[in-house]
């Protein structure tokens, strides 16, 4: 083998600087956030506004004790959707169809919850289960599309999502919608079919527990089980996995099904929470799917990091609105910041990969 | 809560406080824009402070509502049907707080829950009449943002009005839809183009921010359009016949005034009779409204007559919402 | 509903043109081995900068020019990251799409103090080719279109032929197919990748300009509304054969226009919304069944 | 022994040194290439041959030393400079554009133009013209994807010739060729040399050197350990110069009597894109024996291995493992049932360079004790403690040079990376072990260790299928040797019958031993690095 010429990236000053950076996995995301915050500050200042007040507003808006309840509930949803992205990400696949899976979950939950008669103790679990099954099955479709027809999962999920969204809003409008309502939405669910409350909190409910359990489960599976190991192996080198006896096709199927199921569960939780009905578009407008994807990317799919990165995007989301209210900084800035974080992160991770890759050359 | 002093304008210190909560980002949604404009006018008139809370989804509506209640303003104003659930409950839980619903009303409202609803359908009926009288191809259409029951208030009555004066007029409705139904001019324009290709020569635009797309299509075809809410003839002179205007400002100012004066509860409905809705063509200053209708005094005459019949109750325009 | 009428063809072409430019950008990137899904965001930025420039200068063409240049600059992050630093283009793209969505809305608020959509009175759009009126077939199809519409078609054919027959085209394709081989023959691989990514940005700029100054004359928040993703799908569809892009994109345009028209015969809007996506997916599956050889012709493999 | 100058030097390398981190790849190397001569460069793996050639071709910049072309000093900062100076290189791995035509590949980067476009007719004409001049006939319009390995190499050579290379560097060109292709390649080389081209031939194969070269330079550990004129040297002398000693010690004493049949392959056919890669072969491997598969790579051996592991499905025929017909089984089930495989491509298939060494050592053990469990409540779970313990143990046992098992596999040197793969696969204790080029790219010490382990494996009652290009390796280890040629088994030789002569003959499809093969019965086991 001939020696490859030294890649010019190694000579890049930024890189030299970055090579000094600590090795701990958390360092990369943190650095990305810091840089992003600085860039954001520049943008705010350029817009003739005061970065400090803006950021202060974001933080106070997000952590204001009065609204903490709400903030936590949003955090739970973003964590949930981060799992949706993270599971396939672990094996090197992108699920961009979270929206479709989310609304299908909402639909299933709404249909089950709508059928009152189910005893209180059963209604919620059954609704959530139904959501998981329907959304999971839908998510799973992308796996055979990839293994049989070679359509990348990133593409098929992307194309399938709007179809699901359209079908759900059609059903809401013409089939299961409330009569005489001005917008397409279901009737309110009976008391028996509403998400169990946590104390007297009005936003956060048992859904939070469920999401936390899901995250713990993912963390265990990822680090402690054969399946999790196989996910990471395939993510690192598909051929190696196949040679080692991993059934890549099945693994992809399982991962996509799990991913979709989680999305479905999140959809169910949101739907079964106040105001206890499924309203057309209400599941998508907060943009949990992309916030979750961003959090997952920022965490590199690592289970332990997701709750942390999710906090960031929760703050940006909840605080963004507050920032607009009190500091008159347009809320779009939170999208800007999220975007910058991800891009900066992508560039930073390269540096790390480079470091190991360069050792790999010899 | 302070019942708010009498409403004299002037004076630096604000004498009252208002909070407006919208169900979604105002963005390019004309209707919400109109509401916040109205709230501003009310604020000016009663020398009140105004905060606008834009929501994203039911949960954030609730969150904004809670935040608003903590602020203890004189009036919390909620816009559209989407906030009904949350407001109805809040009104029960906080009897001392005054709430005002715009464009929707509760079945059994409490005393502190006032509502102002509009009979947009009466105005749209009249634009329909104009279309029916003006159309040469006997073919008219509507471009609306979404196929939702509420938005049918700009569809069905338009056709009804047209058919009332021109029984053999054919009609077609197109809905923008897509990822951005209230703002995707490209799609709304394409929808209007389809109606034009199908032979329509008068099109009611009910696509919110998308109306501009409809007007563009009108300008590029031998088609004229109708606007909504405000005088949109100004947005595209020469292409807009008339507008089904909606005086959210008037309604808001009046209702807020009533509440501040202590007359609360029940609901006021603003139709042609109350002057809550109307047509640009039926108002003063048609001449320089830039609206095409100005060139058709005869039509204006007939429409005026029908308007009076509606006010008199001789003609009853059906509300698509209650019609189911 | 009338499918065969020229007006329908015109509608299809209009709907397809922005996607055409964007998909050409994507196809070029694919040719040099960069999986470019930043099209949506770059297009959105192009649309915004076009309107902004047209507003300030009062000239639509200045808008187009600005869109081209500024979007090329916008694509620097992807170019540097993917080409020079071998970063994961997918992650960068997802980030820059989000960024574009945010920054356009943000600037609309701080620069023009409007939210939702910006269409000041007198905003100059691209003028249509009215002078074509009267010419039989050509007239009805192109008279109502901006010059960018035929340009899209010409450009794709030109690029396709250039790729196939010109030395640089040959090298460009080589870079994507086997980077080591190309560099061992003295080709600057990352150089090609870099400049192609920049060029792709410029093309997305045109795509955006056509959308905001051609299809309509206004900028609206998130006005690309998924068109960039359809372009990505189109790139997948043609699997490295740019000359087929018009077929794919017009097919999409037809699906959308058809969906609209189906409303005319009572199809619910909620479902017609889904038509283009469903059809695109079905066609993808069909082509894969038909030409299994093309499988995974673009690798999205990536290890975060 | 020095040479009397016959013709003026085309290239002179003097005092070339290059180090990679701790490794000294080249250490004060002097090399003189005379115009119109064929100059062989020999040496074991890692001796520094490729590095030296890369330096000569401008791919690597030397730490010190000087290069002269036609007497005038030059510095190559990139291959472009080298090409401009009249050098051309054929790499160990081909670098061709599969989707393109031969003509396109040849002219790529230096296209004949007409009206600014690629002049395809001119390009094709050029290919034909060069083909006739050097005896490299090939259809310019053929797609590379449809060419055989030998034809592809012709394209590589044509690429160099198209750029008017007067100095041609061939780095291990014969590793992947069939004997027939080898001889025609040598014919081309001779022809080129006679017409004034200077050829540098990097190789491990004594017989090739003796048959085609004029002069030989031998490297060891980056230093020149001998210069010879081919006329007055012998295989033994060259071997000694290369290894500094005589042939390796470990070898099969044939002292184990085979037991039950572990692997039974019957009428196996593997086809790819309609082409039959493996044509209807049958063979057995029994417990306690090492069966060798000889053959130039690309003759179907790899496909056979894939078919046994299950990463490739048979078109026809069957594979039996320990009496069970596993033809339709998944890789996972086959491994569980008792097969381990040391793959040819350790980086691409045998490991995940971004994962830790411990994790690399775990794959395949992750569902069985002690790391995993396939039944009971721990089923499907992994014990990280057991994982760490095991990796420590294997790193120790197989003397893998690394600070700890928590470092990435990518940080290992080639030889140590190979040890990780071998450690993992041997530690299954599977009844059947398939070893494909187990010693490729590893140094002599490791080669001996690995050979020792394979013999122990067999002595412990394991069945071993050893696939190798290296006749000597097979002679040293195998109880029986099967020879594969273009997808079929053309000979089965017992230990007694197996000589490098007989194997070589069978490999090349000839019936009688060839002259060159007999001259060196003692080629050291230097695996071909690919
Ligand atoms: N890019 C590199 N980085 C680090 N070490 C390298 C690199 N390239 C080569 N080496 C080391 O330099 C030494 C010489 O390598 P080289 O490839 O020249 O050997 P070789 O004689 O070509 O071996 P082979 O016969 O296997 O081709 C080896 O120890 C190798 O590990
Ligand atoms: N004589 C030639 N000189 C240089 N390049 C050539 C020559 N002939 C073909 N090529 C290149 O080889 C490749 C295959 O050539 P060909 O003309 O067959 O393309 P093609 O098969 O039409 O491609 P596709 O079928 O994918 O459209 C192309 O990249 C072409 O540019
Ligand atoms: Mg070598
Ligand atoms: Mg062809």
Rounded Cα distance, A136 and A260, in Å: 4
Q: Give the DSSP letter of residue D514.
A: P
Strand partners, D227: D217
**Sign of CA pseudo-dihedral A68, A71, A76, A79:** negative
Report which bound ligand comes closest to the CA of D113.
2
Query: What is the residue whose two structure tokens read 């690192």?
Result: A236
Check CB contact under 8 Å for A2 and D50: yes
Is the distance from the beta carbon of residue D415 to the nearest atom of ligand 1 less than 6 Å?
Answer: no
Can you give the length of chain B in residues?
A: 324
Strand partners, D73: D68
Rounded Cα distance, B153 and D454, in Å: 84
Pick A335 or C50 by higher pLDDT.
C50
Contact yes or no for C226/C250 (Cβ under 8 A): no
Report which bound ligand comes closest to the CA of C242.
2
**Probe target for ligand 2 pocket from D96, D100, D108, D159, with the most ligand atoms within 8 Å of CB:** D100
Contacts of D100 in chain C (CB under 8 A): 170, 173-174, 177
- Three-class DSSP category at B306: helix
Task: Give the relative orientation of helices D120-134 and D149-162 as an angle to the nearest 10 degrees.
Answer: 100
Report which bound ligand comes closest to the CA of D171.
3
- Residue C244 CB-half CA count within 13 A: 11
Contact yes or no for D446/D419 (Cβ under 8 A): yes
D392 touches chain C (CB under 8 A): no
A65 touches chain B (CB under 8 A): no
Strands B267-270, B277-279: pairing is: unpaired
Tokens of D329: 């089984």
**Which DSSP string do the residues of A301-358 spell out, in sequence order?**
T-TTTHHHHHHHHHHHHHHHHHIIIII---THHHHHHHHHHHHHHHHHHHHHHHHHHH
Contact yes or no for C206/C24 (Cβ under 8 A): no
Is the distance from the beta carbon of residue A1 to the nearest atom of ligand 1 less than 6 Å?
Answer: yes
Q: Residue D43 C-alpha to ligand 3 middle, in angstroms?
A: 9
H runs (alpha helix) in chain A: 13-19, 27-46, 51-63, 65-90, 98-114, 120-140, 142-149, 153-170, 206-224, 226-236, 238-243, 248-272, 288-298, 306-322, 332-360
Contact pairs from chain B to chain C, CB under 8 Å: 105
Tokens of A179: 């009569």
* Nearest of B193, B187, B191 to residue B218 by alpha carbon: B193
What's the confidence (pLDDT) of residue D42? 86
Residues of chain B falling short of pLDDT 50: 1-11
Q: Residue D128 C-alpha to ligand 4 middle, in angstroms?
A: 21
Torsions phi, psi for D423 (to 5 deg):
-55, -50
**Which DSSP string do the residues of D400-448 spell out, in sequence order?**
---S-TTSBGGGS-HHHHHHHHHHHHHTT--SEEEEESTTTT--HHHHH
Torsion region of C239: left, alpha or beta (phi above 0 gives left; psi -120 to 50 gives alpha) = left
What's the confidence (pLDDT) of residue A228? 95
Contact yes or no for B251/B37 (Cβ under 8 A): no
Rounded Cα distance, D465 and D480, in Å: 10
Percent of the residues in chain D that have a pLDDT greater than 70, as a whole number: 88
Contact yes or no for B127/B242 (Cβ under 8 A): yes
Contact yes or no for D258/D310 (Cβ under 8 A): no
Is the distance from the beta carbon of residue C170 to the nearest atom of ligand 2 less than 6 Å?
Answer: yes
Contact yes or no for B202/B140 (Cβ under 8 A): yes
Q: What angle do CA A350, A354, A357 make, to 5 degrees?
A: 130
Which pLDDT tens digit goes with each residue over B232-247? 999 889 999 999 999 8
Strands D432-436, D339-342: pairing is: parallel
What's the confidence (pLDDT) of residue B208? 86
Contact yes or no for A311/A79 (Cβ under 8 A): no
As a whole number of angstroms, the longest Cα–Cα distance in chain C is: 61
Contacts of B62 in chain A (CB under 8 A): 202-203, 274-275
What's the confidence (pLDDT) of residue B8? 39
Q: Residue C173 C-alpha to ligand 2 middle, in angstroms?
A: 11
Most confident of A66-70, C170-174, C200-204, D36-40: C200-204
Which pLDDT tens digit goes with each residue over D293-348? 998 767 888 899 999 999 998 999 999 999 999 999 999 999 989 999 999 888 78
> Domain coordinates of chain A in residue numbers?
81-207+239-286
* Nearest of C91, A118, A245, A337 to residue D329 by alpha carbon: A245
Torsions phi, psi for D348 (to 5 deg):
-75, -35
> Where does B91-162 show beta strands of DSSP type E?
98-102, 113-118, 139-144
Torsion region of B4: left, alpha or beta (phi above 0 gives left; psi -120 to 50 gives alpha) = left
What's the confidence (pLDDT) of residue D246? 56
Point out the ligand 2 atom lying closest to the alpha carbon of residue C240: 26
Rounded Cα distance, C44 and C114, in Å: 17
Per-residue pLDDT of chain A (362 residues; tens, 9 = 90+): 344 444 444 556 565 555 554 455 566 667 778 888 898 899 889 888 888 988 898 898 889 888 888 999 999 999 999 999 999 999 989 899 999 999 999 999 999 998 767 888 899 999 999 999 999 999 999 999 998 888 889 889 989 999 999 999 999 988 888 877 778 889 889 988 888 888 888 888 999 999 999 999 999 999 999 999 999 999 999 999 999 999 999 999 999 999 999 999 999 999 999 889 999 888 998 889 988 988 898 888 889 989 998 998 899 888 887 787 777 778 788 888 888 888 887 887 665 554 444 333 33
**ipTM of predicted complex:** 0.80
- Residue D458 CB-half CA count within 13 A: 30
Query: What is the residue whose two structure tokens read 């910006």?
Result: C118
Query: What is the residue whose two structure tokens read 């006939």?
Result: D137
Give the DSSP H/E element, type plus range, for residue B322. helix B320-323
pTM, 2 dp? 0.83
Strand partners, C241: none
What's the confidence (pLDDT) of residue D248? 52
Contact yes or no for D34/D230 (Cβ under 8 A): no
Is the distance from the beta carbon of residue D472 to the nearest atom of ligand 1 less than 6 Å?
Answer: no
Measure A115 CA to nearest chain C CA, in Å: 25
Torsion region of B177: left, alpha or beta (phi above 0 gives left; psi -120 to 50 gives alpha) = left
Q: Chains B, D in contact: 3+ Cβ pairs under 8 A?
A: no
Region D230-251 average pLDDT: 72
Rounded Cα distance, C117 and A95, in Å: 31
What's the confidence (pLDDT) of residue D523? 35
* Nearest of A195, A175, A194, A202 to residue A186 by alpha carbon: A175
Contacts of C218 in chain B (CB under 8 A): 185, 212-213
Torsions phi, psi for D373 (to 5 deg):
-155, 140
Contact pairs from chain A to chain C, CB under 8 Å: 185
Q: Best mutation site among C33, C171, C184, C301 for testing chain D: the one with the most D CBs within 10 Å?
A: C184
Rounded Cα distance, D134 and D157, in Å: 10
Q: What angle do CA C114, C120, C126 make, to 5 degrees?
A: 125
Check CB contact under 8 Å for B59 and A274: yes
Q: Count H helices, E strands: chain D?
A: 17, 22
What's the confidence (pLDDT) of residue A18? 56
**Sign of CA pseudo-dihedral D422, D425, D429, D433:** negative
**Which DSSP string do the residues of chain C spell out, in sequence order?**
--SSSHHHHHHHHHHHHHHHHHHHHHHHHHHTT-----HHHHHHHHHHHHHHHHHHHS-HHHHHHHHHHHHHHHTHHHIIIIIIS---HHHHHHHHHHHHHHHHHHHHHHHH--SSEE--TTPPPPPP-GGGTTSTTHHHHHTTS-THHHHHHHHHHHHHHHHHHSHHHHHHHHHHH-HHHHHHTT--HHHHHHHHHHHHHHHHHHHHHIIIIII-S-EETTTTTTHHHHHHHHHHHHTT-GGGHHHHHHHHHHHHHHHHHHHHTT--HHHHHHHHHHHHHHHHHHHHHH-GGGTT-S------
Q: Residue A6 C-alpha to ligand 1 middle, in angstroms?
A: 15
């Amino acid at each position: 083998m001939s020696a490859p010429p030294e890649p010019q990236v190694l000579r890049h000053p930024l890189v030299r600087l970055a090579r000094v950076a600590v090795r701990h996995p958390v360092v990369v995301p943190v650095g990305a956030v810091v840089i992003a915050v600085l860039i954001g500050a520049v943008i705010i200042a350029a817009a003739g506004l005061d970065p400090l007040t803006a950021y202060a507003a974001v933080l106070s808006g997000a952590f204001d004790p009065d609204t903490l309840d709400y903030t936590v509930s949003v955090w739970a949803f973003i964590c949930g959707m981060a799992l949706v992205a993270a599971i396939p990400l672990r094996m090197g696949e992108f699920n961009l169809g979270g929206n479709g899976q989310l609304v299908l979950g909402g639909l299933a939950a709404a249909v089950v919850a709508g059928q009152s008669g189910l005893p209180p103790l059963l209604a919620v679990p059954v609704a959530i289960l139904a959501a998981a099954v329907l959304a999971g099955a839908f998510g799973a479709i992308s796996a055979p599309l990839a293994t049989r027809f070679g359509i990348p999962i990133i593409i098929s999920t992307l194309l399938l999502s709007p179809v699901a969204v359209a079908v759900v809003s059609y059903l809401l409008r013409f089939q299961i919608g409330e009569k005489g309502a001005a917008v397409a939405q279901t009737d309110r669910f009976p008391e028996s079919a509403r998400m169990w409350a946590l104390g007297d909190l009005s936003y956060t409910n048992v859904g939070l527990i469920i999401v936390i359990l899901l995250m713990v489960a993912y963390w265990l599976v990822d680090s402690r089980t054969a399946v999790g190991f196989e996910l990471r192996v395939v993510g690192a080198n598909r051929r190696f996995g196949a040679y080692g006896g991993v059934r890549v096709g099945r693994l992809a199927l399982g991962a996509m099904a799990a991913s979709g199921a989680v999305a479905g569960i999140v959809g169910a939780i949101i739907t079964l929470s106040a105001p206890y009905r499924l309203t057309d578009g209400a599941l998508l407008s907060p943009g949990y799917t992309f916030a979750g994807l961003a959090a997952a990317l920022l965490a590199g799919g690592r289970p332990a990091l997701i709750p942390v990165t999710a906090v960031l995007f929760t703050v940006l989301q909840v605080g963004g609105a507050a920032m607009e209210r009190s500091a008159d900084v347009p809320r779009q800035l939170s999208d800007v910041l999220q975007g910058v974080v991800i891009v900066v992160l992508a560039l930073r991770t390269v540096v790390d990969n480079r470091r190991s890759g360069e050792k790999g050359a010899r | 809560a302070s019942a708010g002093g009498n409403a004299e304008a002037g004076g630096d210190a604000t004498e009252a406080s208002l909070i407006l909560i919208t169900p979604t980002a105002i963005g390019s949604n004309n209707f919400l824009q109109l509401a916040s404009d109205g709230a501003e006018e009310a604020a000016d008139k009663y020398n009140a402070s105004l905060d606008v809370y834009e929501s994203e989804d039911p949960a954030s509506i609730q969150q904004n509502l809670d935040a608003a209640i903590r602020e203890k303003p004189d009036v919390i104003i909620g816009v559209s049907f989407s906030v009904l659930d949350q407001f109805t409950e809040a009104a029960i839980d906080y009897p001392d707080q005054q709430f005002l619903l715009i464009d929707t009303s509760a079945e059994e409202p409490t005393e502190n829950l006032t509502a102002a609803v509009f009979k947009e359908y009466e105005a749209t009926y009249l634009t329909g009449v104009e279309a029916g009288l003006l159309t040469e191809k006997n073919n008219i259409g509507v471009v609306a943002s979404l196929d939702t029951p509420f938005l049918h208030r700009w569809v069905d009555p338009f056709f009804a009005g047209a058919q009332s004066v021109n029984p053999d007029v054919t009609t077609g409705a197109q809905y923008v839809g897509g990822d951005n139904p209230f703002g995707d001019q490209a799609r709304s324009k394409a929808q209007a183009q389809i109606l034009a290709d199908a032979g329509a020569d008068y099109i009611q635009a009910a696509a919110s921010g998308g109306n501009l797309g409809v007007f563009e299509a009108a300008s590029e075809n031998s088609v004229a359009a109708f606007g909504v809410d405000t005088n949109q003839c100004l947005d595209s002179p020469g292409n807009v016949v008339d507008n089904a205007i909606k005086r959210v400002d008037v309604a808001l100012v009046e209702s807020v005034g009533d509440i501040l004066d202590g007359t609360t509860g029940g609901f006021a409905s603003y139709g042609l009779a109350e002057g809550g809705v109307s047509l640009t063509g039926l108002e003063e200053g048609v001449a320089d409204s830039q609206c095409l209708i100005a060139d058709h005094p005869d039509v204006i005459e007939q429409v005026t007559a029908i308007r009076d019949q509606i006010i008199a109750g001789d003609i009853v325009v059906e509300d698509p919402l209650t019609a189911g | 509903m009338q499918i065969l009428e020229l007006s329908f063809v015109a509608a299809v072409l209009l709907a397809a043109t922005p996607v055409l430019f964007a998909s050409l950008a994507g196809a070029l990137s694919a040719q040099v081995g960069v999986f470019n899904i930043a099209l949506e965001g770059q297009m959105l930025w192009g649309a915004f900068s076009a309107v902004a420039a047209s507003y300030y200068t009062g000239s639509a063409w200045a808008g187009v020019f600005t869109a081209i240049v500024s979007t090329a600059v916008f694509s620097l992050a992807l170019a540097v990251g993917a080409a020079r630093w071998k970063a994961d283009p997918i992650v960068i793209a997802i980030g820059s799409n989000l960024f574009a969505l945010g920054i356009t809305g943000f600037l609309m608020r701080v620069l023009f103090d409007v939210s939702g959509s910006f269409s000041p009175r007198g905003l100059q759009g691209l003028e249509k080719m009215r002078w074509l009126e009267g010419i039989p077939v050509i007239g009805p199809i192109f008279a109502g279109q901006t010059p960018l519409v035929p340009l899209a078609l010409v450009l794709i054919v030109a690029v396709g032929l250039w790729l196939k027959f010109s030395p640089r085209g040959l090298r460009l394709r080589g870079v994507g197919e086997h980077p080591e081989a190309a560099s061992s023959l003295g080709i600057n691989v990352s150089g090609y990748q870099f400049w192609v990514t920049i060029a792709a940005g410029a093309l997305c700029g045109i795509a955006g300009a056509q959308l905001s100054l051609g299809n309509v004359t206004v900028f609206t928040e998130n006005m690309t509304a998924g068109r960039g993703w359809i372009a990505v799908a189109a790139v997948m569809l043609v699997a490295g054969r740019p000359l087929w892009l018009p077929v794919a994109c017009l097919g999409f345009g037809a699906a959308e226009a058809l969906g609209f028209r189906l409303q005319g015969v009572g199809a619910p809007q909620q479902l017609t919304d889904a038509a283009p996506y469903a059809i695109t997916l079905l066609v993808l599956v069909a082509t894969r069944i038909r030409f299994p050889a093309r499988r995974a012709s673009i690798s999205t493999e990536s290890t975060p | 022994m020095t040479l009397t100058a016959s013709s003026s030097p085309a290239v002179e390398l003097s005092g070339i040194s290059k180090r990679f981190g701790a490794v000294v790849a080249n250490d004060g190397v002097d090399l003189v290439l005379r115009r119109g001569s064929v100059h062989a460069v020999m040496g074991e793996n890692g001796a520094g041959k490729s590095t030296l050639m890369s330096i000569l071709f401008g791919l690597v910049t030397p730490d010190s030393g000087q290069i002269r072309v036609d007497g005038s000093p030059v510095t190559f900062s990139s291959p472009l400079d080298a090409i401009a100076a009249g050098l051309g290189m054929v790499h160990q791995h081909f670098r061709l554009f599969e989707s393109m035509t031969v003509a396109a590949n040849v002219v790529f980067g230096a296209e004949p133009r007409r009206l600014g476009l690629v002049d395809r007719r001119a390009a094709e004409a050029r290919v034909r013209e060069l083909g006739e001049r050097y005896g490299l006939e090939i259809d310019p319009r053929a797609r590379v994807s449809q060419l055989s390995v030998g034809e592809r190499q012709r394209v590589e050579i044509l690429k160099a010739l198209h750029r008017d290379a007067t100095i041609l560097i061939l780095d291990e060109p014969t590793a992947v060729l069939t004997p027939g292709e080898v001889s025609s390649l040598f014919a081309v080389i001779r022809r080129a040399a006679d017409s004034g081209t200077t050829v540098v031939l990097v190789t491990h194969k004594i017989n090739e050197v003796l048959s085609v070269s004029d002069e030989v330079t031998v490297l060891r550990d980056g230093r020149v350990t001998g210069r010879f004129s081919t006329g007055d040297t012998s295989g033994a002398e060259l071997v000694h110069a290369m290894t500094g000693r005589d042939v390796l010690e470990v070898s099969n004493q044939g002292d184990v009597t085979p037991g039950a049949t572990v692997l039974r392959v019957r009428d196996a056919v593997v086809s790819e894109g309609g082409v039959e890669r493996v044509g209807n072969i049958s063979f057995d491997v029994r417990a306690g024996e090492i069966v060798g598969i000889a053959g130039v790579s690309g003759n179907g051996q790899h496909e056979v291995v894939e078919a046994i592991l299950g990463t490739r499905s048979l078109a026809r025929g069957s594979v039996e493992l320990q009496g069970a017909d596993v033809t339709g089984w998944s890789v996972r089930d086959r491994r569980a049932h008792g097969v381990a495989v040391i793959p040819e491509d350790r980086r691409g298939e045998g490991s995940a360079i971004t994962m830790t060494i411990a994790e690399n050592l775990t794959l395949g053990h992750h569902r069985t004790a002690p790391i995993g469990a396939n039944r009971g409540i721990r089923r499907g779970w992994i014990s990280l403690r057991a994982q760490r313990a095991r990796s420590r143990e294997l790193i120790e046992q197989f003397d893998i040079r690394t600070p700890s098992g928590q470092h990435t596999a990518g940080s290992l040197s080639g030889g140590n990376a190979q040890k990780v793969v071998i450690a993992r696969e041997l530690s299954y204790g599977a009844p059947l072990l398939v070893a494909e080029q187990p010693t490729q790219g590893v140094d002599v010490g490791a080669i001996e260790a690995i050979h020792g382990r394979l013999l122990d494996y067999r002595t412990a009652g394991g069945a071993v299928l050893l696939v190798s290009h290296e006749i000597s390796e097979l002679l040293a280890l195998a109880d029986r040797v099967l020879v594969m040629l273009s997808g079929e088994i053309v000979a089965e030789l017992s230990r007694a019958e197996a000589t490098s002569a007989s194997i070589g003959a069978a490999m090349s499809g000839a019936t009688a031993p060839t002259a060159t093969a007999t001259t060196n019965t003692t080629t050291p086991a230097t695996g071909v690095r690919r």
